[in-house]
Structure 1
Amino acid sequence: MNELLTQLHTYSSEFTQNWNNSVLFITAASFFAWIVWRLVYGRLEVLAERTSFEWDNLTLHALKTPVSTLIWCWPGTVSLGFLLQDQFASKLNWLSTLKLLLVIAIFVWIIMRLISNIEQYVLEQQNRDETTVQAVAKVARLFFITIGTLTVMQAFGLSLSGLLTFGGVGGLVVGFAAKDLLSNFFGGMMIYFDRPFKVGDWIRSPDRQIEGTVERIGWRMTIIRTFDKRPLYVPNSVFSSIVVENPSRMLNRRINETIGIRYDDGRMVETIVSEIKTMLENHPDIDTQQTLIVNFNAFGPSSLQLMVYTFTKTVNWIRYHEVKQDVLLKIMDIIHQHDADIAYPTQTIKLEPQVEPLGEQAQ
């Protein structure tokens, strides 16, 4: 019995001294750490759900997969080092660099997931500018990817000061070679900061055959869906040299019509004009704070022309046409109520009586 205890003690001591060389033990420890992380994550998730603060949920969701990956990959890297070191009987210095790259990658991965979660959460809220949210998210991603790339380059032993010096010399060459790409990039930045339009806006350009709804604003191009449902891909640099109209931001829509009545109804023009103006002033869908004009405007070729100029409260295209139809029907009713009618193009031919010569009459 004493011999058995002695052997167990000896085996335990040897195993304790050499545990870091045991791949099996490291794997078991990784599995145990992963189980602990899952239990801790589950508990934290329950606590986060009880709070009204949403950002803790977003952070936990960003940490879930990257931390699990780190728990398995870091010990896996250590185990790989032990196996290769025993195999080649040499110290592998590149494993420390591999571990550093793993940490950098996990950190950048967590940040990218957190940015995506925040972007999605903010876009789900009401009254959020989709274009601004996407722009901030893209800038944040670009910033952290750049920081991660520079850190990786430094981990490989590259001199950042030398790289920046080379960038100053080579930047001019790269600028000439990629001037179109850079102009599109800065054109996209101009759109994000000046905000002449955003995703969902209806835009058009009198300079180019561009008209439709903005679907996406990228770093290089903007996607516009035309009214016949064709996608239009416009490089961002184009918007720096053309005039862009944004009808989506209009405050009112205009009704500007010329209505002709018959010349035979001229005596009723003043009364008709007065009643049309009164109708518009009392119409619930007409903005009386804007310009409102109803006047006898001109003598037309075949009608007395009345100008109707006013603005609707709605800017919705479909609703605007419904309001305009209602206004025109009411104008037609007013004209008919006074036994007048809307004129249509007519021509009057006057025939002069033919006069016979005096000589022929005498005969």
Structure 2
Amino acid sequence: MKDFQHHEYYTEILRTVITVIVFIALSQIIKRLTKRYARTAHLSEHRTNLITKYIDIFMMVLFVVVIIAIWGVNSQDLYVVFSSTFAVIGVAFFAQWSILSNITSGMILFFTFPFRIGDVIRVHDKDFPIEAQIEDIKAFHTILRTRAGELITYPNSLLLQKGVSIVPIKQEDKEFYD
């Protein structure tokens, strides 16, 4: 029986183990920094968890790419698989560009937080102006409640495209929105 160090895949296994350890550590550090940023910016736990999920997905994709490089997968075969996959994904995202746009907008709203849950906003849209209180900000849309009690699901991408004002709440209106 051969000694383990002389095994054909010893280097790849060692590099894979080191990569796993580095990615776990890096992922934890990034999550802690994101949570610390969210605490100092007084962002909701829901929004923080959403960004943490995005970070996990990004780190997993990056991890797979690094592992593929370590194990020396034939680049021609890999190129065919990736190009086919990206072509299908590209067509799907082009067909559903609003979904990708809303996810990106949700991330921008998280990091720039021009308004927060509880704020009353006015969306300056000539066809459908809205004044409502923000109840929740999700990955794809923001939940708004009007003075009449109507719930509106408003796409995040439109919040970045339209003019939005934060309306100061008057003392007599405060009980309505609470």
TM-score, normalized by the shorter chain, greater than 0.5: yes
TM-score, scaled relative to structure 2: 0.57
Alignment map for 1:1-363 (pairs within 5 Å): 93-94=8-9, 96-125=11-40, 128=41, 130=43, 143-159=58-74, 163-164=78-79, 167-168=82-83, 170-179=85-94, 181-190=96-105, 192-193=107-108, 197-200=114-117, 201-203=119-121, 207=128, 211-218=132-139, 221-224=140-143, 226=145, 236=156, 239=158, 243=162, 245-246=164-165, 249-250=166-167, 315-317=168-170, 319=171, 321=173
SS in 2 for 1:215: strand
What letter matches 1:122 in structure 2? Y
Aligned-pair identity in percent equals: 11
- Structure 1 CA distance for aligned equivalents of residues 154 and 71 of structure 2: 40
1:276-332 CA distances to partner (integer Å, 9 max, x unpaired)? xxxxxxxxxxxxxxxxxxxxxxxxxxxxxxxxxxxxxxx224x1548xxxxxxxxxx
Residue 203 of structure 1 and its aligned partner are, at CA, apart by 4.1
Residue 173 of structure 1 and its aligned partner are, at CA, apart by 3.0
Call closer, same or farther: CA 1:97–1:197 in 2, change over 3 Å: same
Call closer, same or farther: CA 1:223–1:187 in 2, change over 3 Å: closer
Structure 1, unpaired ranges of 5+? 1-84, 251-314, 323-363
- Structure 2 CA distance for aligned equivalents of residues 225 and 234 of structure 1: 7
Call closer, same or farther: CA 1:242–1:170 in 2, change over 3 Å: same
State how many pairs are aligned: 161
Residue 145 of structure 1 and its aligned partner are, at CA, apart by 3.5
- Structure 1 CA distance for aligned equivalents of residues 92 and 71 of structure 2: 28
Structure 2, unpaired ranges of 5+? none
TM-score, scaled relative to structure 1: 0.33
**Over alpha carbons, which structure has the higher Rg?**
1
- Structure 1 CA distance for aligned equivalents of residues 103 and 173 of structure 2: 35
What letter matches 1:115 in structure 2? I
SS in 2 for 1:158: coil
- Structure 1 CA distance for aligned equivalents of residues 129 and 76 of structure 2: 46
Call closer, same or farther: CA 1:170–1:117 in 2, change over 3 Å: closer
